[in-house]
Amino acid sequence: MRILMVTNYPFPYGMAQTNRIIAMAKGLIHAGAEVDLVVSKATEWGNPKNQEATGIYQGIKYTYATGTPIRPKNTIRRVFMFYRGIFRTLRIIIKENRKQKISALFMGVHSIIFTYILFLLTRLLSIKYIQERSEYPILSYSGLFGRIKLGVYLRFICKRFDGFIVISTALERYFEPFLKRDPKQHLMPIIVESERFELADSPPGNVISYCGSMQGTKDGVPILIEAFSKIAGLHPEIKLQLIGPTDFEGFDVLKDQINELNLENRIVFTGRVERDEMPGLLQESMILALARPLSKQAEGGFPTKLGEYLATG
């Protein structure tokens, strides 16, 4: 069996969704499938971790359809590269299917138009079409136009898939009315590559760690900082370590919060770290923290980092 995955997330180094893709692909390879991955757009800027347009990572063959993972600085060139990536993704699928029959195409979240174009291509080439979702689609759409797009996606696009993979029972119930009458929906909770965390035992340091996105309120990083301020005076030897990218709009808000609480010397930002460095950082921590607040996102999704926390032992 040959499976082709299409994503617009960074590869092979990225955040939770990249790790989920790798874990899924490795599981399929272990089951005997051949897996190829196409990244439909350039994902890197600033200090890029992913610099190769093609390669093999842990048995997964991957290609950036844009010809490079690096995003151009020029806006016009970025737009051109975006559409180039879409057209080259279609061409790669056709070319690879000619070489060896593709049994199924797995895709994540893309635009409605691109999703429908891929559907038409899979019908033409007799390829099974499968989507994977790890959160409610309503979180991707806002405003009147967004609600219209959501309606099109749920009532028109969802019925085009031959299979549907979700991360939680909440999403399973949510999507069921919008799928085919005989939907092949599969519940696939968080996946963790436990072998990544099979490191030599080392005593934990005086560090509380969080890993993941610090953007917005999704994982409650501001709440975590506030909570740490409550115990910082009682435990002067302990530091809070925040692991993840800091090159996002709104980072200054976190810095201001830390300054107001006089915690500049107690909270450490690592910045983006390599995927293979993460297990060591987590294992060296005395506490692994997550302050995700109640929200629609928390209801539908399930934090991959929680599984990684548990895998540290």
Compute the distance between CA of residue 291 and CA of residue 19 in angstroms, rounded to an integer: 21
Phi, psi (degrees; rounded to nearest 5) at 186: -125, 130
pLDDT band at 143 (very low <50, low <70, confident <90, very high): confident
pLDDT tens digits along 219-262: 899 999 999 999 999 999 999 999 988 888 889 999 999 999 99
Across the range 187-200, mean pLDDT stands at 83
Whether the link from the prior residue into 12 is cis, omega within 30° of 0, is yes
For residue 30, the model assigns a pLDDT of: 92
Across the chain, where does the E strand assignment appear? 2-7, 34-39, 54-57, 60-64, 104-107, 128-133, 163-166, 185-187, 207-211, 239-243, 267-271, 287-288
Residue 107 bridge partners (DSSP)? 6, 131
- Which pLDDT belongs to residue 130? 96
Q: Which residues contact 120 (CB under 8 A, 6 or more apart)?
A: none
**CATH numbers and ranges of domains, the chain:** 2-191 (3.40.50.2000), 195-311 (3.40.50.2000)
Which run of H or E residues covers position 18?
helix 16-30
Helix, strand, or coil (residue 186): strand
**Mean pLDDT over the full length of the chain:** 91
3-state SS of 244-285?
ECCCCCCHHHHHHHHHHCCCCCCEEEEECCCCCCHHHHHHCC
- pLDDT digit string, tens, across residues 153-166: 999 999 999 999 99
Let me know: does 8 contact 108? Beta carbons within 8 Å. Answer: yes
Residues above pLDDT 70, as percent of the chain: 99
Which residues on adjacent β-strands are paired with residue 4? 36, 105
- Pairing assessment for the beta strands 2-7 and 34-39 based on DSSP bridges: parallel
d(CA 221, CA 254): 8
In the sheet that 287-288 helps form, which strands lie side by side, from edge to edge?
Answer: 267-271, 239-243, 207-211, 287-288
Over residues 89-95, mean pLDDT: 98
Question: C-alpha 184: how far from its chain's center?
Answer: 23
Which of 14-18, 91-95, 233-237, 268-272 comes out lowest in average pLDDT? 14-18
Residue 298 confidence (pLDDT) above 80: no
Q: Report the phi/psi class of residue 220: left, alpha or beta, with left for phi > 0 and alpha for psi in -120 to 50.
A: left
Q: What is the pLDDT of residue 183?
A: 61
Residue 146 pLDDT > 80? yes
Confidence at residue 194, expressed as pLDDT on a 0 to 100 scale: 82
Residue 71 has pLDDT above 80, yes or no: yes
- Average pLDDT rounded to a whole number, residues 159-182: 90
Reported as half-sphere exposure (CB side, CA atoms, 13 A), residue 172 has a value of 11
Which whole number is the average pLDDT over 87-105? 97
